[in-house]
């Protein structure tokens, strides 16, 4: 189940990319990654390093110019 939870933002990205374009898919990825980190924080009161690094990279590299 954790594996599915970890890959959920990527799956949502590809679904959004198929249905719309890369800009919408990137927005979906950003929102899904932040929601995933927030959900983990609410449930466990801690977040591992890798999801935080991933969220940081998605936010920095996914910004629209």
CA distance 40 to 11: 18
Segment 53-64 shows an average pLDDT of 91
Q: How many CA atoms lie within 13 A of 12 on its CB side?
A: 17
For the question of whether the overall pTM of this predicted structure is more than 0.85, the answer is: yes
User: Smallest Cα–Cα separation from 13: which of 4, 3, 26, 1?
Assistant: 26
Judged against a pLDDT cut of 80, whether residue 62 lies above it is answered with: yes
For residue range 5-57, what is the model confidence (pLDDT) as tens digits?
899 999 999 999 999 999 999 999 999 999 999 999 999 999 999 999 999 99
| Model confidence at 65: pLDDT above 80 | no
């Amino acid at each position: 189940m954790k594996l599915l939870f970890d890959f959920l933002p990527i799956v949502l990205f590809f679904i959004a990319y198929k249905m719309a374009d890369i800009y919408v898919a990137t927005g979906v990825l950003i929102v899904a990654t932040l929601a995933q980190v927030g959900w983990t924080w609410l449930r466990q009161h801690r977040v591992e390093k890798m999801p935080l690094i991933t969220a940081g990279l998605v936010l920095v590299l996914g910004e629209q110019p």
